[in-house]
Amino acid sequence: MQLEELKNRWRLAPGTEYRCDRTLNLYKTPTAAELVTQAAAGRQLKIVAIEANSLHVMLCADDYPGWLRLGDVDALDLASAPYHALMVTRPDVEQAIPGAIAFAEAAMAVPNEYLWGGTVAPNYDCSGLVQAAFAAVGVPLPRDSYQQEDFTDTIEIGELLPGDLIFFGTPERTTHVALHLDHGRYIHSSGKDQGRNGIGIDSIFDLSNPVSQAYHIQYRCCGRIMKGYAPQKTH
């Protein structure tokens, strides 16, 4: 879509949804200096505001905001229909868990690096990997780790099952999330400062690896996904 066409359409119909024809980077500020998330090809978004050098947009599936460079508007087309989240219940989640784990393990098997804001292969951040793994099997989740913690039902560490989420951070807020595999082992994308700069497997019980030790100190809680996320806002 051309920029002028998009501007005119937004003025006339600001609630219009657009489909991304390729993976697009969304940024934290209008200056596009810091990646905040990515929109994979096929995802839908709405425009919140148009600035001189960027568009303020909201992703339809997870209500996540970001700024899109004006140079990327050529990748936007009109969506054929408004985004509609399918109802996903706990039994649906249970059936999807093996596929989500397989997705994460396959992502680990290819060369990758930790990318803050990354939600598209090969480079993910922690919550981007979790979101992408479950999205691949039809279970939509919120974007950030603290949002994923709020979205799940808190469980005790002894209740962990494959597919549950493990959260790390400070007493005030979650900053990291991992996908539980079995027996306390979890797969996650961790950064350079205390991780592997990419996807790896660690443990909350076996602390023989320094990465496991580093995250053990920051353990907060565990959560169980009970349903799929449905958009909460009228954009």
Q: What's the whole-number mean pLDDT along residues 16-43? A: 96
Query: Domain check: are 98 and 74 in the same one?
Result: no
Where does residue 218 rank: exposed (0-12), middle (13-18), buried (19+ CB within 10 A)? middle
Query: Domain check: are 26 and 97 in the same one?
Result: no
Query: Domain check: are 111 and 218 in the same one?
Result: yes
Task: Tell me the backbone φ, ψ of residue 35, rounded to 5 degrees.
Answer: -65, 135
Q: What's the whole-number mean pLDDT along residues 34-55? A: 96
Query: Domain check: are 130 and 108 in the same one?
Result: yes
232 — pLDDT class (breaks 50, 70, 90)? confident
Query: Domain check: are 126 and 46 in the same one?
Result: no
Query: Domain check: are 66 and 130 in the same one?
Result: no
**Structural domain boundaries, residue 71:** 3-78
pLDDT tens per residue, range 159-209: 999 999 999 999 999 999 999 999 999 999 999 999 999 999 999 999 999
User: Can you give the CATH number for the domain in which 22 is found?
Assistant: 2.30.30.40
Query: Domain check: are 72 and 116 in the same one?
Result: no
Query: Domain check: are 37 and 97 in the same one?
Result: no
User: Can you give the CATH number for the domain in which 197 is found?
Assistant: 3.90.1720.10
Residue 235 resides in a domain? no
DSSP assignments along 183-224, one per residue: TTEEEEEE-TTTS-SEEEEEESS---SHHHHHHHHTEEEEEE
pTM score, two decimals?
0.96
Residue 167 resides in a domain? yes
Of 43, 78, 113, which residue sits at a domain end?
Answer: 78
Number of domains in the chain: 2
Indicate if the pLDDT at residue 234 is higher than 90: no
pLDDT of residue 233: 60
Average pLDDT, the chain: 96
Query: Domain check: are 94 and 72 in the same one?
Result: no
pLDDT tens per residue, range 208-231: 999 999 999 999 999 999 999 999
pLDDT tens per residue, range 49-86: 999 899 999 999 999 999 999 999 999 999 999 999 99
pLDDT of residue 228: 98
Query: Domain check: are 70 and 96 in the same one?
Result: no
Which positions ≥6 away from 232 have C-beta within 8 Å?
A: 63
Which positions ≥6 away from 73 have C-beta within 8 Å?
A: 1, 2, 3, 6, 55
Query: Domain check: are 40 and 124 in the same one?
Result: no
Query: Domain check: are 95 and 73 in the same one?
Result: no
